[in-house]
A and B are shown apart, each in its own frame.
Chain A
Amino acid sequence: MEAGETRFWEAIRQDFPTLAQQVHGHPLIYFDNAATSQKPKVVINTLSNFYEHDNSNVHRGLHELSNRATAAFEGARQRLASYLGAPPDTIVFTRGTTESINLVARAWGDANVGKGDVILLTEMEHHSNLVPWQLLAGRKAAILRFVPITPEGRLDLEKLDTLLEGPVKIFAFAHISNTLGTINPVADLCSRARRIGAVTLVDAAQSAGHKPLDVREIGCDFLALSGHKMCGPTGAGVLYGRRELLESMEPFHGGGEMISSVALTQSEFKAPPHRFEAGTPAIAQSIGLGCAANYLDEIGRQRIFEHDQELAFHACSVIEQIPGAKIFGPRDTRAGVVSFVLGSIHAHDVVSMADQYGLALRGGHHCTQPLLRKLGVPATARASFYFYNTPEEVIRMGEVLRKIHAFFA
């Protein structure tokens, strides 16, 4: 990395209070960003400012604080809309990716998927893009199909046309695999699904904060993301849905905020997106997510992507020097997620010991049990990077992993 670039990222790192601490007597190295990212001061301040000055419910008060809260909340919706290249009324605030996908599986799936219909997924899906579809298939006697992965950890696209034959109603897939770091060709997948009239859903949990994203370029029908993986607070995420689809859908949850009129035995519902936002939303968190989207765009998402990818390549070269190490996933283009095993040392032993050196890794199945079965390992260790991580931290990880290898060898 050249000097100017290094200084730029060093300054950015100062925005994150959690990173400036010692863990077990060592400087914290936070490499668990695929699980959740750290939060910059500007997002933390947005939360405390809201609670200190503007806290109120939205869309119902006629008083000043409610007006301010509503303006900020709807402003965040507009911010997320422009972040994704979508109109504001196609942005539904949810608790996160999981709730977004469950919303589609229920509100769209129950009305559009029937007996014998096909739900197409991939072998690399996170449980959150698997279990909601299993439940839908169970309710409707529908059939689940899976795009297999190649030994390298990419989708086997030669099989896709065959898999798209027959009554395929929806094709749902991850943009970036949280275990392999694979970046899927989402625009191509969407266009091939569209050709046969299948609806598409992109799980953007791992991509939304890590690379440029525009639903017009992707051409998807639905896209789900989690705010907490992109510098936002927990409890706020987004479902993007193409307007015609959202308008055709029945509500997901019933309650306040989502109705236009209520009688004792029946109700009329608001138009999207509010139709899908029953009850008091995560107001402060959603406003915080809007702030996070701003923050990321000020840095530049392409710049973030290149930084993450550089750290991932660096990490692969550091890890593969350790005897017995095996890295999963593609070795050329990849996101900042690196899963690996160190010989026969169990991932939990690696991660527990790494923690004693202040190095936060994830160990386990990463909510992708079917994928790990396919890879033939019970668990992997995973290092996942974000723009505040540094090449020095990657070198330090290599030193720690070598110590762990020597200890258990």
Chain B
Amino acid sequence: MNIEELYQEIILDHSKRPRNFGTLPDATVSVRGDNPSCGDEVELSAKLTPEMIEALRFTGHGCAICMASASLMTTKMRGKSRREGQAAIEAFRQMLTAPEPGETPSGFGDLLVFSAVRRFPQRVKCAMLAWRALEQALSSSPTRDVTTEDGDAL
């Protein structure tokens, strides 16, 4: 396993020039996620309707994996239904944590670059942080903050 497989061009690009960086003036919910072990912080700002993820933006700072994951997530999940969003979160988590590589999730496109994170267990939290914030935003108690230090929750 070569480290360049983890830090692919797409990840470096999104970490240096994150898309959708900022806050939504008409956000319906915002969730703060943090990873105290390395100081990564992501604040996700979401405009949600009862059915749809209409818009997503984020602010924060963190490692390249964390920033690129947040950036790509906001581009991919915007305009999806809540149900599609929840399915994508679960598929992304599976892709990062399954003991063996599973089937390629359909419609993931550039997100597939994160499949390499599976080989770097200590970096899974970095890649998951923004996704956990989105999961929280879609949940029934969307205002709670999330932290990577909730036991084994990923």
Contacts and interface: CB of A to CB of B under 8 A. Distances in A.
A369 B37 CA distance: 9
Contacts of A348: 38, 63, 65, 123, 126
B151 interface: no
Given A378-B61, A408-B12, A408-B64, A353 B39 contact: no
A352 B126 CA distance: 12
A193 B3 CA distance: 51
B2 interface: yes
A356 interface: yes
B123 A352 contact: yes
Interface in A360-409: 363-365, 369, 372, 377-379, 407-408
Interface in A305-360: 345-349, 352-353, 356
B53 interface: no
A379 B38 contact: yes
A346 B63 contact: yes
Contact of A365 (B37, B65, B123): B37
Interface string B24-66: 0000000000001111110000000000000000000111111
Interface centre among B39, B40, B62, B120 (most CB of A within 10 A): B39
A219 to B, nearest CB: 37
A13 to B, nearest CB: 27
B21 interface: no
Contacts of B41: 378
B7 A363 contact: no
A408 B122 CA distance: 20
Contacts of A372: 39
B65 A349 contact: yes
B6 interface: yes
A356 B63 contact: no
A363 B64 CA distance: 14
Given A348-B126, A353-B7, A356-B3, A369 B36 contact: yes
Chain A binding surface, main DSSP class = helix
B136 to A, nearest CB: 21
A127 to B, nearest CB: 11
A379 B36 CA distance: 10
B38 A352 contact: no
Contacts of A407: 7
B38 A346 contact: yes
A347 B65 CA distance: 12
A372 B61 CA distance: 15
A352 B37 contact: no
B76 to A, nearest CB: 22
A369 B63 CA distance: 17
Contact of B38 (A353, A356, A364, A408): A364
Contacts of A364: 37-39
Given A346-B63, A408-B12, A352 B39 contact: no
A297 to B, nearest CB: 36
Nearest to B67: A346
A328 B131 CA distance: 33
Contacts of A378: 38-41, 61-62
Contacts of A365: 36-39
Given A346-B63, A349-B63, A353-B7, A363 B39 contact: no
Contacts of A377: 39
A31 to B, nearest CB: 17
B108 to A, nearest CB: 23
Contacts of B12: 408
Contacts of A363: 38
A353 B12 CA distance: 13
Interface in A18-61: none
A42 B52 CA distance: 65
A374 to B, nearest CB: 13
Contact of A353 (B3, B61, B66, B122): B3
B123 A379 contact: no
Nearest to A356: B3
A376 to B, nearest CB: 11
A352 B3 contact: yes
Contact of B39 (A356, A379, A408): A379
13 contacts: A345-B64, A346-B40, A346-B62, A346-B66, A348-B63, A348-B123, A349-B64, A356-B2, A365-B38, A365-B39, A378-B39, A378-B62, A379-B39
Given A346-B40, A353-B7, 20 more contacts: A345-B64, A346-B38, A346-B62, A346-B66, A348-B38, A348-B63, A348-B65, A349-B65, A356-B3, A364-B37, A364-B38, A365-B37, A365-B38, A369-B36, A372-B39, A378-B41, A379-B38, A407-B7, A408-B12, A408-B64
